[in-house]
Structure 1
């Protein structure tokens, strides 16, 4: 085991091991945890005790290992994202992460993006589903039950851009004008949008594999793109998706055309359907044809838009879980930000990070613990014992603190297990 300079490894517990094909998860794993900035100091402790309780209720245990990023890391290491933190995640394979503030005026464009890119966590996986009892702006929020696979490493998030008044932007404009026969205004900033075959296909494989693994619940995987305009980036993403399905999943995946031409619209039990939608249309379909979509795969920016829009239909970002997954490793984090105005007040809703832990449990093969977490949260919300964000939207409820909500979830867990 690696000797770390400023990370204390728990004396008890064992490492999760990746054998190149699957994770080997002991019943007492050591799991790194980044508390985070702002309200991370409220929601992370709440999540850790709920997840530890769920592990124990299902005959296991978790040994949390504190690692650092963001403001705390700056105080300890003198930098916002120390290499030791990345090394610890690489070695122990998983991490639960609270929200992080990206420094203004220099450093990383986003600490979250930096962690994903440096660890090659190429799939941002965000399940979106309604928790019974949570207020929603739509009539039938229970119809939303999707899993969004967002490519995590390229597209405009690659960060390749130059301000309009820099020499680099001038060189790019001149090259594109003179060598590529384009007409770009001289006051333009320049950004590059790379979408590669390799990165696209590995993301799409993960989405197809997930759909097949969960075939009893999901029966389609949809490629979301803007290929009618960006033909050689997003259009290529779509084409590569169909190539993967045809070349690597023959007999397991059929196209939407085959579904109607050969099966009269009824999906055979042993296959899934691959289809595609334009991103702008998909935003409408989320609202108007919600039950028709199961698993979605898309480039980075589309994934950012779509996942937030989908979360809005089931109660908002405050309860939305997220994860960033690579080959045999992952970082699990809520979708919401740091909300510094509420930091340290023990009032915010910890559901987003707790449900991110549920995704982590499923990734570990602890599906029973993950389902127990979800049921316990739902029961707590049904009891109308909720944090301020939900309390203000319901009648007759009891407003509780962040830490109290976690304790109530654990109490319900004991009666449900």
Structure 2
């Protein structure tokens, strides 16, 4: 397989995909990595070393394939998202990236969103769980053990909008008011207008992934989070299509909340996943007041953005929040946090979020033993209070380490645990 300005590693094998059997993963896979912008250049190389150590400790070998996007791509290709990068991500299927910054006027609303769309990575999965030793603003952060499934391609993030003062927005206004009859909904004067698409197809494939995850990982419930009391034909439809999908494709494995109370007096059978729904604003407060009642959340794009960040705050913030983008036979891990350019090149940024995003990658390819090593080593390191500056300043008796030192000690712990 040839590319314009990059060469795949000489060693290693491709991960392949079959629609029936899923991913087929060799013990020496080639895995693309994009370092990213800002602190990505600090945290990605050390996260790469940690993941390599976990693979080697379990008798495997990762062959890394460096790709370029954002600033590094502009230097090498004079563009933000070269075709080499997109094609290699498609060819090798499972990959990881650091944070990317989209420059003003660069042609994309977001490089991260552009990658998700080009690869049809329609699910953004964000596990949120507490690690011992992490300072938290809540009294019982250990109650949080939740996995958010956020739809990645639709909703307001589809980017269908028109700017105030343009001919296009006036055409849309005229159509809405004159043709559709909504003559009292848009104020006079300058106005921006956007369209919020939510489809049956997009909803059902997201909810399918969420329910499959819940079944495979012995989770008790999947909650559809929506604002369907107000947006009845978009977010309300999301709720209805979610229930419909559960009934159509998982009738033996799922029950709804009405059935839970009518037939089981609120005690779900061990072999059933309860599918329920909550209004988004109510769900935000239930994250705090009834944290342990929720396992897997399935949400449209914007709700998923808000809810996952709010959940992340309860376990210590986005500095340790991992994430991944998932499609059919393709996967791209990434941290939730941004590129923090003012801290770039200082070897100080916390690499935990990217390392733990790599843990999701290891789980996704079936290397659970390696993933467990990563989790346990990171947790032990944080509990030791020898941490990067962001945690050290919040931990009594903490000792500040550079990002590279922090990662080296995690690797030492992987070796001890293996």
DSSP 3-state at the match of 2:307: helix
Where do 5+ consecutive residues of structure 1 fail to align?
none
Within 2, Cα distance between the matches of 1:219 and 1:199?
A: 24
Residue 60 (structure 1) aligns with: 60
Q: CA deviation at 1:106?
A: 3.6
Residue 363 (structure 1) aligns with: 364
TM alignment of 1:399-414, pairs within 5 A? 399-414=400-415
Choose the corresponding residue for 2:198, options 182, 195, 200.
195
Residue 15 (structure 1) aligns with: 14
DSSP 3-state at the match of 1:334: coil
Residue 91 (structure 2) aligns with: 91
Within 1, Cα distance between the matches of 2:179 and 2:212?
A: 42
DSSP 3-state at the match of 1:191: strand
Within 2, Cα distance between the matches of 1:378 and 1:154?
A: 35
Matched, 1:239 2:240: yes
Matched, 1:204 2:207: yes
DSSP 3-state at the match of 2:125: strand
Residue 179 (structure 2) aligns with: 179
Q: CA deviation at 1:105?
A: 2.3
Q: CA deviation at 1:188?
A: 1.2
How big is each residue's C-alpha offset from its partner over 1:227-286, in whole Å with a ceiling of 9 and x where there is no partner? 000000000000000001111111110011111111111111111100000000000000
Residue 393 (structure 1) aligns with: 394
TM alignment of 1:91-170, pairs within 5 A? 91-170=91-170
TM-score where L is the length of structure 2: 0.98
Within 1, Cα distance between the matches of 2:412 and 2:399?
A: 16
Residue 266 (structure 1) aligns with: 267
Structure 1 range deviating more: 102-111 or 179-188:
179-188
Where do 5+ consecutive residues of structure 2 fail to align?
none
How big is each residue's C-alpha offset from its partner over 1:71-115, in whole Å with a ceiling of 9 and x where there is no partner? 110111111001111100100001110000101124100000000
Matched, 1:318 2:324: no
Within 2, Cα distance between the matches of 1:87 and 1:193?
A: 30
Please list every run of at least 4 consecutive aligned residues from structure 1 whose deviation after the TM superposition is greater than 4 angstroms: none
Residue 27 (structure 1) aligns with: 27
Q: CA deviation at 1:344?
A: 0.3
DSSP 3-state at the match of 1:321: coil
Choose the corresponding residue for 2:217, options 207, 214, 226.
214
DSSP 3-state at the match of 1:224: strand
Residue 73 (structure 1) aligns with: 73
Aligned-CA RMSD value: 0.7
How big is each residue's C-alpha offset from its partner over 1:38-96, in whole Å with a ceiling of 9 and x where there is no partner? 00000000100000000011110100000000011011111100111110010000111
